Amino acid sequence: MNKMVKFLKMIDFGHTLFGLPFAYLGSFLAISGIPSPGQLGWITLAMISARTSALCLNRIIDRHLDQANPRTAHWVMASGQLPLSLVWGAVVVGLILLFLAASQLNPLCVKLAPLAVLVLWGYSYTKRFTWWCHVVLGLAIGMGPVGAWMAVTGRLDWQPILLSLAVACWVAGFDITYACQDIEFDRKHGLYSVPARFGIKGAFRFSEVLHLLMVLFLIAGGLALSLGGWYYIGVAIAAIILLYEHKIVTPENMSRVNFASFKINRYVGLLIFMTTLADILS
């Protein structure tokens, strides 16, 4: 039981709320209704297992860097609280469950699952050669709406791509702000990030632009899918939340960066999903 608690802490299971609501959003919008319980179940399994596998691999790959970083040295994997074999086992099991879920949905999901794995797993290496690593992380999480859309329709359409781009910009935006905490460590160890390349003020400008793009992509997605008032209410509230986030965290005051990045943002996707559901059912 103690290992399970540590494992759930390591993978930040509560952060599933970042991507899962947007995946559900893609599946609901694909049919302008509610998918079957079976489809929702397999979509949920695919999202959770893919995220778990990718995050475990990230912790394995970065464990030596995390050990050297005073901010992360106490993390579960970095401090050796779990055996390496157990975490590797979670990587493999997560991958197996992802392909199992894809096989229960449709052939297209199975064919594209390796591409999703490539993006999810490849992210962990990007900080070693490009400051675009934040965008790659955003794209990895942003695949949810497109993947869920394909899961219920069996085809790839262009409309959910707008939602995926919105998610990618959203995640990349707050990940850049969060990465400002490690600017000196990244520079010292030759790691790539927007803060390390452009400084804290430059990083905040990137974050602001990306969050503006998120709102614009959400609006474009609403127009493409002919969504109504409830959806735009959700988008408007999400925009206000992002404005608040940029109000309480500035280059001069980063004391609340963790609160802004993870406490506030985890409800953005859930909010938009709930208002979109109200729009679909009204």
Asked whether residue 4 is domain-assigned, the answer is no
Whole-angstrom distance, CA of residue 250 vs CA of residue 74: 26
Contact, 264 vs 243, CB < 8 A? no
Segment holding 245, helix H or strand E? helix 229-248
Predicted TM-score of the model (pTM)? 0.94
3-state secondary structure of 225: coil
Structure tokens at 268: 């953005």
Contact, 216 vs 239, CB < 8 A? no
Tally the domains of the chain.
1
Q: Provide the CATH number for the domain around residue 137.
A: 1.10.357.140
Asked whether residue 114 is domain-assigned, the answer is yes
Q: Domain limits at 135? A: 9-281
Asked whether residue 1 is domain-assigned, the answer is no
Each residue's pLDDT expressed in tens, for the chain with a length of 282 residues: 588 889 988 888 777 778 899 999 999 999 999 999 999 999 999 999 999 999 999 999 999 999 999 999 999 999 999 999 999 999 999 999 999 999 999 999 999 999 999 999 899 999 999 999 999 999 999 999 999 999 999 999 999 999 999 999 999 999 999 999 999 999 999 999 999 999 999 999 999 999 999 999 999 999 999 999 999 999 999 999 999 999 999 998 888 888 877 788 888 999 999 999 999 988
3-state secondary structure of 253: strand
